[in-house]
Amino acid sequence: FDPLGLGADPQRLKYYQEAELMNARWAMMAVAGITFTDIMGIGGPWYEAGAADYDFPVPALLAIQFPVMGILELKRIRGWLATGKSGVNEDFPWDPMGMNSDTMALKEVKNGRLAMIAFVGIVVQAIVYREGPVSALMDHVTDPFGCNMATNIMNIGSTFQ
């Protein structure tokens, strides 16, 4: 099923699959990090992290982050052009636990897709209700009929006031 024809070119399809995998890995890390910090109560709500005042100046952070991320992305693209893989796997050929099997690759894609959907849900929840995933779950568990999707949809108008 490909109504937009994105898989018409096999080379582009491989690139899209690799891009999906990279986004899935970021989403898995984000969902795990958001959930962990919400459970542990570390540093306040995750969606207010950008508003916090840190001792590290932003220009210095950007001066470090852009070159480091640029080098890593350049390495990934060069690896992709040379091997058709993300440019990371060939650095770690030692695989004692069999993580490079087809079964594990399928599990990674499935869990990554689930994490991307979960991340969108967490972001929407933070925008609409200004709370993290664990506190929203606890609200629902304590009052399942008063705090659920149907009752919360009725309150969306108050979010934008």
- Residues belonging to the binding site for chlorophyll a are 20, 108, 111, 113, 125, 140
Residue 47 token pair: 């969606």
Q: Which of 117, 132, 128 is nearest to 27 (CA)?
A: 117
Q: Which of 128, 126, 24, 98 is nearest to 16 (CA)?
A: 24
Detail the residues annotated as belonging to a binding site for chlorophyll b: 25, 107
Residue 83 token pair: 């091997």
Detail the residues annotated as belonging to a binding site: 20, 25, 107-108, 111, 113, 125, 140
Q: Judge contact between 44 and 52, C-beta under 8 A.
A: yes
Q: Judge contact between 107 and 99, C-beta under 8 A.
A: no
- HEC string of 29-51 equals HHHHHHHHHHHHCCCCCHHHHHH
Provide the 3-class DSSP secondary structure of residue 19: helix
Looking up tokens 């910090």 gives: 37
